[in-house]
Amino acid sequence: MSELRVLIVDDEDYFREIILKKLIDKNIDAEGAENGTKALEMLKKQDFDVVVLDINMPGIDGIETLRQIKISKPEVEVIMLTGYVSVEFGIKGMQLGAFDYVMKPVPMHELMDKISQAYDKKMENGP
């Protein structure tokens, strides 16, 4: 999975940094963004295979960020993170083209499995 590029988008600095460190420790090329606006800017300049996207963020929320990602980069697989936000938002994300959604706090092995599955799907559909 060394070619895999992941963008973690979450406004909780501690959570985002922990996930980034664990991905980098597994030799996965990962970067972070603290909000939807920053994530969309990064996606314009760089290619990512998988985006792990928090739904509840200030400014542009995860649902709107997902909508814009799917318009500009439909090939990017997106995994939605839901915390105390209703599961309905996770389902809404799926309807908008998200690969899957997971509840926070998510065990790292579960998140890694989802990222791997999303990457495999992207590769099956062509890079």
Domain ranges of the chain: 5-122
Kindly tell me the number of DSSP H helices and DSSP E strands found in the chain: 5, 5
Query: Is the pTM value of this prediction over 0.85?
Result: yes
H/E run at residue 54: strand 50-54
Contact yes or no for 61/40 (Cβ under 8 A): no
Q: CA 106 to CA 112: how far, in whole Å?
A: 10
Q: How far apart are CA 26 and CA 46, in angstroms?
A: 21
Question: CATH says 5-122 is which class?
Answer: alpha beta
Contact call for residues 62 and 74 (beta carbons, < 8 A): no
Q: Taken in order 62, 88, 23, 107, is the CA torsion positive or negative?
A: positive
How confident is the prediction along the chain (127 residues), in pLDDT tens digits per residue? 448 999 999 999 999 999 999 999 999 999 999 999 999 999 999 999 999 999 989 999 999 999 999 999 999 999 999 876 566 776 788 889 999 989 888 899 999 999 999 999 999 987 6
